[in-house]
Amino acid sequence: MRTTKKNLTMPVRGAALLAAVVVGAAGCSSQEKFEVTDLCGRKVDSALVAPFLPEGETLKVDDDISAPEQPRCKVSVDDELHLYVRGNIDKPGFDLLKASERSMRRLGNPAPADGIGDGATIADHGAMAVQACTYKGEKSQYILDIDGVDLPKDTAERRGALEELLRAHLPVIMEAEGCRP
């Protein structure tokens, strides 16, 4: 009889242990959806950044890599890069889009995007825009470059999200840097 009782309690104890592990595991997976409202020290609509970020446990927005006239920031979730944004003020008369054609090809299928600055290119994993401006009284151009993008998984959706971010963020970051169109 003692053997029967032991045989009956083992499955019950095992089921209780399994339930505790499942409940505990569900409690440990505190995945969060993150909101980024600041890119490279500039305000940004968090809805424009959200498509590029997965759920995770930790968000890091690193803008310590910025320098005067060169705002830079990396957005990482769980130590994995998901968005790298770079801005530059440069001398005019240099066709940056043509010069960067090779690097844009590495980002996958670059294509022109209409109505963004003086010219823009959207690729599968990044984007770039150029806008003529006046900086400290001199003719200049502003370059906004975004890469490191693998989300959303759907390429057409990702390209659309890149275009929206580029279109909205170019005038904001230019103004903040004092580069007037």
Output 68 or 60, whichever has higher pLDDT: 60
Average pLDDT over residues 31-43: 89
Alpha-carbon span 68 to 180, nearest angstrom: 16
Question: Can you tell me whether residue 159 is helix, strand or coil?
Answer: helix
Question: How confident is residue 94, by pLDDT bands cut at 50, 70 and 90?
Answer: low
Alpha-carbon span 58 to 138, nearest angstrom: 42
User: What stretches of 106-178 adopt beta strand conformation (E)?
Assistant: 111-112, 119-122, 126-135, 138-147
Question: How confident is residue 159, by pLDDT bands cut at 50, 70 and 90?
Answer: very high
pLDDT at 103 over 90: no
Alpha-carbon span 18 to 40, nearest angstrom: 46
Whole-prediction pTM: 0.79
Q: What is the DSSP letter of 33?
A: -
Enter the tokens of residue 32: 């969060």
Is the CB of residue 142 less than 8 Å from the CB of residue 105?
no
pLDDT at 101 over 80: no
Domain boundaries, the chain: 1-30, 38-180
pLDDT digits (tens, 9 = 90+) for 164-181: 999 999 999 999 999 998
Average pLDDT over residues 9-20: 37
Burial class (CB in 10 A: 0-12, 13-18, 19+), 59: middle
Average pLDDT over residues 108-116: 93
Percent of the chain topping pLDDT 90: 65
Cα torsion through 26, 32, 33, 34, rounded to 10: -170
Question: How confident is residue 16, by pLDDT bands cut at 50, 70 and 90?
Answer: very low
User: Among 148, 152, 159, which residue's Cα sits nearest to residue 112?
Assistant: 159
Alpha-carbon span 111 to 88, nearest angstrom: 21
